[in-house]
Amino acid sequence: AEAAAILRVRHCRADIFCRRPPPRCPACGRPLSGVGLSAAPVRLPNPFRQGHRQPRAFLLRPTAGTFLGGYDGKSDLHVGITNSHGVVYNYNEEGIHRAETGWEQCISIPLVQPDMFGLLQEWDKLLEEFSVGEAWLPHRYEEHDHNCYTYALAFINSVLTAEGKRQMSKSEFTEKFVIPQTKKASKYLTLHQELTDNDFYIVPLPDQEKQC
C-alpha cells in the first residue's frame, strides 16, 4: 500500500514533518492557522516512481521488498532499463528478464531527452538486440563483476557510442546520476520511518533560514 504523503510545516525555527497538518505547533503549542504562508503545509515530493510508467529509464529498487516497505538502507539493490512501454529489462543469475510487473516503487533516472528523436524511435530495437548478446547468458553472471549494473551500464555505453558520445565509467555514472537521486530517497525514507512511529518529526533549521 502507498504510504500517506509527508507534509512539512515551518514554525518555531524548525521544519515539522507530519502526515496530517496539526492544528497547533507541536513545539510551542500555538495555533498554526492564520500564521501566514511560511507555516502552510507543503507536500514533499515522493522520490519513488511506478517504474512501468517510466519509459526509457534506468531504474533502481531493492532486490527484495520495497523502499517504503521496510528497506533498511543496506540491503542489495537491483537495477534495470525500461523500453518505451515500461517493460523492465534486467539481468541476474537466471539471465535476462523482461518484467511487466514488480518495479512499482523505484528510483527512476530518465535516459533519453525528448529532443533525441532518432533514439526515441530506435530504443526498443537497440535494447532487445543488446539483451540477446552472449554476454548476458545466465552462466556469465558474477555477483560483483558481471551483474545487473554491468548490464545496464554496458547498454547505456553502447547507446552513447552509437550517438558518437564518450562512454561513462561505473563510478562516473553513479556519481553523476545515481547518487543525487539516492540521497533524496534516503532523506525521504528517514522521514517515512520516523513518521511510522511518531506523529511528528522536528528538525531545527540552520541559523540563516530561521524564521518564525
DSSP 55-92: TTEEEEEESSS-TTTT--SSS-EEEEEE-TT--EEEEE
pLDDT band at 167 (very low <50, low <70, confident <90, very high): very high
| Span 105-118, average pLDDT | 90
Distance CA 100, CA 131 (A): 16
Higher pLDDT, 89 or 207: 89
- For residue 209, the Cα-to-chain-centroid distance in whole angstroms is 28
Print burial letters for 18-56: b (CB count within 10 Å at least 16), e (below 16). Answer: beeebeebbeeeeebeeeeeebeeeeeeebbbebbebbb
The distance from CA 69 to its chain's CA centroid, rounded to whole angstroms, is 14
Q: What's the whole-number average pLDDT of the chain?
A: 92
Is pLDDT of 1 > 50?
no
The pLDDT tens digits for 46-75 are 999 999 999 999 999 999 989 998 888 888
pTM: 0.88
What SS3 class is residue 203? strand
Bridge pairing between strands 88-92 and 95-99 = antiparallel
